[in-house]
Amino acid sequence: MASTSSKYNETGKITCDKDILFSIVNLATKEIKGVASLSNSNLPWYKKIFRKSDYEGVSIRFNTNGTLRVDVYVNAYVGESVPDLAYRIQENIKNNLSGMVEIKATKINVHIVDVVCKTEE
């Protein structure tokens, strides 16, 4: 599995590290109102030990044609419309990826894994 994504243009090759893509997807997801947090509950226990905390709740796979497949695992707040929340997350990830690094995601899967109550601060 490649740890970088490469794109060729008329002046040369542009390379983007996978960590940057994880950061973009992570921040794009957390920007959405209604997202409580990202979740690693989908991972087996042994992967939770060795996985970077920066990658929490995000899975990215590179396709051979230079596009991405993104899976995001989210904890949502009570009272949010799940289809609406998932759509807003997908659109924000798509817009951020295309705007920041000009990489197209062919699939953006949003998994709502838990619902949490808002706490009073």
Q: What is the pLDDT of residue 2?
A: 47
Q: What is the pLDDT of residue 46?
A: 60
Distance (Å) of CA 57 to CA 5, 8, 64, 113, 121: 20, 30, 23, 10, 25
CA distance 42 to 48: 9
Residue ranges and CATH numbers for the domains of the chain are 12-116 (3.30.70.1350)
Q: What is the pLDDT of residue 33?
A: 94
Residue-wise pLDDT tens digits, 82-118: 999 999 999 999 999 989 888 888 899 999 998 998 8
Structure tokens at 27: 């921040």
Residue-wise pLDDT tens digits, 57-92: 888 888 887 778 999 999 999 999 999 999 999 999
